[in-house]
Amino acid sequence: MRLLKKYYTLLKWSIVIVANVFLIYSLVNYKGYDNLWAQWSRGMASGIWWLMLVLLLVPLNWFLETRKWQILVGDLEPMPLKKAFRSVMGGNTTAFFTPNRVGEFPGRSIFLEEGNRLKGIVLGVIGSFSQTFVILLGGIPAAIVLLSLFDAKNFNAIYLSAATFFFVLFLLLYFFLPEICKKLSSYSFLHKIKNILILLSETSRTKLLYICGVALLRYFVFCTQLYFMLRFFCVDLNVWLGIISIATNYLFVTFTPSFAFSEGAVRASMAVLIIKVFSGNTVGIAAAGISIWLINFVIPMIVGSYFLSKTKL
């Protein structure tokens, strides 16, 4: 038992050190500081209220994610909001150096009782799936509108058919997950994961709907944050064009392979690629993408490192 605790302690500190090394590497190798500082100075002089609105939404953003996690694991063990918050922040640390943030839920599950950690990872995937479903829900129609605006001659039923197919597929997979898992648990060749399938089959559709509702609220919050950040950096974008371009942006970012420590560059590049259609201020768009990454991912990762280092395994 003592050897096992030493192993867990070593693992915990390794995660914290590796995540922060990757952060330092990313910050040292970033080449756009001159433009970023210039844009920040310009924004602070002309639109500081936009920045304040972004920062005011930060607690709401992480409260919603914390609440979603609290609901997901509530049947495994009682989790006060404070502990759920520490767990979510810790997940940001383990997600920081893994492809497409796949390490997020193992990191969160460290804060659960030892016997519940694997189940917590599985339930966490449901939460991630709900957020992806919501991003598709908002992003696919926005992408169709974007295509229709700039490719009107070739826009036809093919776009709508493809979008409808993927949306319906995710809808069925998400809301019929209990029935699907219950059916799969009856197959003998899946006996090794039968307990996990049974756990998922016991997730009520009411809970799935509630989680999806929380995910939808959070989607609205971080889309609004990006819009306010764009306005802070003097990107002239009305609300309607903001809705179309930001929803499309998050759709593409979600399905772009990346590591969290390099997401700043990915998010900036994707934002420029899509939003520059409506605004020529590409430097401001890139600065907004980088800044949202710093506020919504880097700072929580640092906070999560502290919580992770204090956790007893």
| Ranges of each domain in the chain | 2-310
Q: Describe the crossing of helices 177-184 and 205-232 by its angle, rounded to 10 degrees.
A: 130
User: What's the rounded mean pLDDT across residues 129-157?
Assistant: 76
User: What's the rounded mean pLDDT across residues 157-169?
Assistant: 69
Phi, psi of 294 (to 5 degrees): -65, -45
pLDDT tens, residue by residue, 267-295: 777 888 888 888 878 888 888 888 898 89
What band does 19 get if pLDDT is binned at 50, 70 and 90?
low
Query: Where is average pLDDT lowest: 7-11, 19-23, 54-58, 61-65?
Result: 7-11
Instruction: Judge whether 112 and 120 are in contact, CB under 8 Å.
Output: yes
Whole-number mean pLDDT of the chain? Answer: 80
CA distance 12 to 15: 5
Q: How is residue 224 written in tokens?
A: 């609004």
Instruction: Judge whether 258 and 266 are in contact, CB under 8 Å.
Output: yes
- Residue % of the chain over a pLDDT of 70: 79
pLDDT of the residue at 1: 40
Query: Where is average pLDDT lowest: 69-78, 97-106, 112-121, 219-228?
Result: 97-106
Among 147, 136, 220, 223, which Cα is nearest to 172's? Answer: 136
User: What's the rounded mean pLDDT across residues 16-32?
Assistant: 61
Phi, psi of 112 (to 5 degrees): -90, 165
Instruction: Judge whether 98 and 258 are in contact, CB under 8 Å.
Output: no
pLDDT tens, residue by residue, 34-58: 666 666 677 777 778 899 999 999 9
CA distance 40 to 195: 51
The answer to whether the Cα torsion of 171, 260, 95, 51 is positive or negative is negative
Q: How many CA atoms lie within 13 A of 231 on its CB side?
A: 19
Does the pLDDT value for residue 259 go beyond 80? no
CA distance 121 to 114: 12
CB atoms under 10 Å from CB of 134, counted, come to 22
Query: Which segments of 25-180 are extended strands (E)?
Result: none
User: What's the rounded mean pLDDT across residues 85-108?
Assistant: 83
pLDDT of the residue at 3: 38
Residues 6+ apart with CB under 8 A from 284: 39, 230, 233, 234, 235
Q: How is residue 163 written in tokens?
A: 């979008």
Predicted TM-score (pTM) of the model is 0.85
What band does 70 get if pLDDT is binned at 50, 70 and 90?
very high
CA distance 141 to 212: 18
